[in-house]
Amino acid sequence: MKKIILIFFIMLFTQNTAASVTAYLASIEEAILMAMESSGEFMSTRALFGVSEAQIFTADAIINPALIMDVGLAEKTYRTGVQWIIETAGKRKKRKQEAILQHQITQDEIDVKMLDIKTKVRNAYIDLYAERQKAESICIIINTADKLLEIANKKFTSGTIPQSDLIQIELIKFNAEIELYNIESEVLNSYNTLNLLLGHNLHVDCILETPVIDERFSDIVFLSKEEHEENIKKLTEIAFENRPEIKLKQDNIYLAKKQLDIAKTDRIPNILLAAGPDLVSNSPGTLNVGAFIMAAVEVPIFDQNKGPIKKAKATQELSEKQLKAQQDTIIFEIRDAYNRLLLNTKLVNKYKNSMLPRVETIVEQSFQSFEKDRHDIMLPLIAQEGAMKIRLAYIKAIADYCTALSDLERAIGMSL
């Protein structure tokens, strides 16, 4: 019995662990899909959609009738009937239209949140990848220092090299280890940020996709200033058509206009109608049967709904100014992301096509020269340290390139 219980708890623990930790993550698109399915931030926003649907039913509801009874003891009258408020000027229909607009605005907000999460996931994914690559580059220096320390100890024992060379190698290794510790801390921060966005605990050694440089944008470095401005203009036009924030601001303007219409319509009074049988007993044993009809209309003398009307006008003006501000923000975002994409495309091409191949050759030559005793033991380490700095700069350029591309797609509201 104890064995069965133990097996049960082991199976339960294994299942919970498997459910909470995802071992592999192949691509950025898979990460985005995971965030759409599990992110608490996105799911809470999406839940508002059901709330706005319920508001449509509420706005379309018909006011319930009321049963009334009037008993007059002095004249022995008895009235029982139905009272109903008749809404005038199509108020119910306009309320429903307002609720439908609110529902559309909720959808716009969900689209904005979806776009935000996509961008955040891309950038967090890229940050984690870049920090891991930095750590690997530092590890190369540490491994190189270990190999050279082994050789240096032998040569120092035989009196071939001075102790100062040995000390310099150890200092470089210590500095690299300190830097690696700092980078590992950044790796952990990036890992936690991505986990929070995904709503999953990724395996600490999860496999990440290597960012790909989009060859479609490799030629933008050769364009003239006028051609760059034309590209930015076209991207701005695309953004004005696709950004959900623009649609959100436009729908807010439509909503403010509808609310102004409703506020003006509310000045028209509703009609209160009541009808039913009228029973009157004038003397004992006699009962006169008839009917009564009653009507009432509010007279809008003091309250003419000026407050809601003024508020609706101010809301409409505010929404129009927010639309203009959003358009200005989009123009800035596109220009900023485009210029960063252009700059980092140049840097990536420079590192990839000239600096990286050259520094790899230098590292190889330095080791060959050292092995032939043409130079001291510090040369390979200095060369490897210089190569590490260039690799780190290349990794940063790739990360900045991917971030700029992600920000540009976010700025225009669609994938390029």
Q: Which phi-psi region, left, alpha or beta, contains residue 199 (left: φ > 0; alpha: ψ -120 to 50)? A: left
pLDDT in tens, 267-278: 899 999 999 888
pLDDT in tens, 200-217: 788 777 888 888 777 777
pLDDT at res. 1? 42
**Under 8 Å CB-to-CB from 318, ≥6 apart: which residues?**
256
| Reported confidence tier of residue 20, pLDDT bands at 50, 70, 90 | very low
Amino acid at 251: D
Q: Is 353 helix (H, G, I), strand (E, B) or coil?
A: helix
Q: In this model, does residue 53 exceed pLDDT 50?
A: yes
Q: Is 71 in contact with 77 (CB distance < 8 Å)?
A: yes
203-to-12, 30, 41, 123 alpha-carbon distances in Å: 19, 15, 21, 19
pLDDT at res. 19? 39
Residue 276 CA to residue 23 CA, distance in Å, equals: 74
pLDDT at res. 24? 55
Report which of residues 34 and 328 the model is more confident about.
328
Q: In this model, does residue 4 exceed pLDDT 60?
A: no
pLDDT at res. 169? 80
Q: Is 251 helix (H, G, I), strand (E, B) or coil?
A: helix
Residue 148 lies in domain: 2-412
State mean pLDDT over 22-37. 74
* Residue whose structure tokens are 């990036």: 190
State mean pLDDT over 7-12. 36
Total domains in the chain come to 1
252-to-230, 242, 394 alpha-carbon distances in Å: 31, 17, 45
pLDDT in tens, 322-343: 999 999 999 999 999 999 999 9
**Under 8 Å CB-to-CB from 222, ≥6 apart: which residues?**
none
Tell which residue, 338, 329, 322, 355, has the closest CA to residue 401.
Answer: 338
pLDDT in tens, 362-386: 888 887 777 666 567 777 878 888 8
Q: In this model, does residue 127 exceed pLDDT 80?
A: yes
**pTM score:** 0.77
**Under 8 Å CB-to-CB from 297, ≥6 apart: which residues?**
269, 270, 271, 272
Q: Is the dihedral of CA 44, 50, 54, 56 positive or negative?
A: positive
pLDDT in tens, 285-320: 677 888 889 899 988 888 888 898 999 999 999 999
Choose the weakest-confidence range: 9-18, 122-131, 194-203. 9-18
pLDDT at res. 18? 37
Q: In this model, does residue 16 exceed pLDDT 80?
A: no
pLDDT in tens, 248-265: 999 999 999 999 999 999
Residue 7 CA to residue 203 CA, distance in Å, equals: 25
Q: For the range 310-314, what are the long-range contacts, defined as Cβ-Cβ under 8 Å and sequence gap of 24 or more? A: 311/263, 312/256, 312/259, 312/260, 312/262, 312/263, 313/260
pLDDT at res. 374? 58
Main-chain dihedrals φ then ψ at residue 302, nearest 5 degrees: -95, -45
Residue 78 CA to residue 4 CA, distance in Å, equals: 78
Q: In this model, does residue 75 exceed pLDDT 50?
A: yes
Residue 337 CA to residue 330 CA, distance in Å, equals: 10
Task: CATH number of the domain at 18, please.
Answer: 1.20.1600.10
Q: Is 84 in contact with 62 (CB distance < 8 Å)?
A: no
The Cα angle at residue 166 between residues 164 and 172, in degrees rounded to 5:
100
Main-chain dihedrals φ then ψ at residue 39, nearest 5 degrees: -65, 125
Tell which residue, 208, 219, 226, has the closest CA to residue 341.
Answer: 219
pLDDT at res. 238? 93
Give, rounded to a whole angstrom, the gap between the first and last alpha carbons of the chain.
62
pLDDT at res. 74? 67
pLDDT at res. 14? 37
pLDDT at res. 218? 73
pLDDT at res. 25? 57
177-to-244, 328, 384 alpha-carbon distances in Å: 47, 47, 15
